[in-house]
A and B are shown apart, each in its own frame.
Chain A
């Protein structure tokens, strides 16, 4: 019996205990690892503490307007986009905040933003990459997150020149949420966001007057009936009309005088015939035609947007062509073939000619002025 109770060797016992201990610790380690990983991924997930959709307040201020190319419909601007939302998971004691908030800028902001959820915002009408990009993050004790993004970029905007030169354009910056539908993330604009969304007082845009900034919420259609939140921020600008008069409208109205020479340069003699030959006046008209063609070509190449649509300039060019056509018909049928004289007598032709000397210019000029007035209305 004594022999059977031999002392056990300590090594196997030690290894057995170690194995049991390891087995007990392993789930705990795994759980700890999983818990640590879950915390980070939870912060990156959509904040559901206040329910869905997450309401993202947005405002956009125009800090600088570098240029506005109304011919190509682009403008370059520096903008501040302010996005604010609440993430209850990011609450912290008020005492931790210096000046009431934790603020991060530049690379520090990027580091912090990489750890939390942020709506994926896409500048819909931005052309190319921004030439300047910086973000500032403010983190409030109550879980509010404010991200300010300053961007300098070129944006594409539609230009409607129908009422040129009295037209108004909207310098539009359109942002949209990607990845999350309207049920998950939505935009809203409070009066504070509207007050924030304005053009800086120092902004000057040559040839344009600045107006209000308007915000409009839209939605963009996706697949299978999904819709994504979108916000359109539009800075209204009004063209300074008089700056275009010297370059465009004075030549157009001046060229309108050329067809009138067909009646002003001639005279009815006592015998009922015309003093100036039809041939000489036809030369006037053909010369005028080339002048209008050259003017039309110059405007088309300098302002393709104007040449491609119905507006005051194209209407005036059309009026020029119509007046030249009428003058040419006058030269042919009145001066060359004396048709009125043949049909109704010399007196009738003479009175008709006298009438045309004032009626033709009056109607043509009044029509041209009407085009301008209609655009200004």
Chain B
């Protein structure tokens, strides 16, 4: 075993191990911080979706309650006067539709018969019980209900209230609904998210019989779902594919689209009957977070390398420069001395450390004491001159 190699090797390995451990730990810490930050953003996205959906349901219910409370509406509905009811409500509905995004307004006779669709007066009379559990519930329990449902014209966010006549007898129900499109657009404007809603294609085809055919095309199809509305088609198409969309709980992930990292949250969408009917996707630009995380790795790596190089240099310079090289020189001179050659003096001992200096001085003393040893001419001349 050579100390010249084994000692520096051990020390360098220890240095590399320590610095690598330190770099790994700090990288894990910064990765954890990045992950926490992204988790926080995902949590906020989830909260935004939930609260906006809840607010939309509340607004739908509020709109329905206002209309349902108008005495002339109550009177016309109690009298089952469809034409008068339409006359009273159509102007108000038009304003709500044009300015506030309401898409449906419908009166239901007991138990769940469509009495008047203000948005489509020509269609009425069918029993809605098979696909509108909310109406059945409202009329059975005579209580306000709100939620998401698939109807013949698509999907909406409904608020349904019971209707009563002038004396307070239950006469039926009334509902108003928002479309998803304006809701998603308003969330995008307010929060900067890109959103899309995907609905189970089979459920949509079974119930939304009035839905236009352009929804059901290959471009909108994502696995077993149909993209019903999107705030940015091209972007969401590259972020949400058939492999991810089939979720039963909140699923966050990060994906790149055209070189930009986006955080995508997929949230299952449930109807009033608590049956999953689709998925809402929300995407946010995560490039700043990811870029910071990448830069942190680079700077941590560079710092670790610099520390390692400096420490390795210190080990090599001190070990070799202060110990091994002077020792090697002394060792060579001792070898020569043993062979009878006392001519090699140890020069410049001032630069040696104290321990080496003592050894060098011992060598010099020994070299001068050697009888019959070859001495340098200059030393011999100096000696002869002194004797004479």
Interface residue ranges, A against B (CB under 8 Å): 50-51, 86, 163, 168, 188-191, 194-195, 198, 211-212, 214, 216-217, 236, 238, 272, 341-352, 354-355, 359, 362-363, 366-367, 370, 373-374, 376-377
Contacts and interface: CB of A to CB of B under 8 A. Distances in A.
A212 B235 CA distance: 8
A163 B291 CA distance: 10
Contact of B321 (A86, A191, A349, A374): A349
A352 B305 contact: no
B306 A363 contact: yes
Q: SS class of chain A's interface: helix, strand, loop or mixed?
A: helix
Contacts of A345: 321-322, 326, 348, 350-352
Nearest to A193: B185
B317 A363 contact: no
B235 A377 contact: no
Contacts, number: 118
A366 B98 contact: no
B305 to A, nearest CB: 6
Interface string B342-360: 0000001011100000000
Interface centre among A50, A51, A198, A212, by most chain B C-beta atoms within 10 angstroms, is A212
B113 interface: no
Contacts of B301: 370
3 closest Cβ contacts across the A-B interface? A345-B351, A377-B294, A348-B321
B281 to A, nearest CB: 14
A313 to B, nearest CB: 17
Contacts of B340: none
A343 B181 CA distance: 79
Contacts of A351: 316-317, 320-321, 325
Contact of A359 (B299, B309, B350): B309
A212 B317 contact: no
Interface string B190-227: 00100000000000000000000000000000000000
A377 B293 CA distance: 8
B233 interface: yes
A363 B181 CA distance: 56
B6 interface: no
Contacts of A188: 185, 189
Interface in B283-328: 290-291, 293-295, 297-299, 301-302, 305-306, 309-310, 312-313, 316-317, 320-322, 325-326
Given A238-B259, A351-B317, A191 B309 contact: no
24 contacts: A50-B95, A50-B98, A51-B95, A163-B291, A168-B260, A191-B229, A194-B231, A194-B232, A211-B259, A212-B232, A212-B235, A236-B260, A238-B259, A344-B351, A345-B326, A347-B321, A347-B351, A351-B321, A351-B325, A359-B310, A366-B302, A370-B301, A373-B294, A377-B295
Contacts of A191: 181, 185, 229-233
A363 B306 CA distance: 6
Contacts of A272: 348
Contacts of B299: 370, 374
A217 B192 CA distance: 10
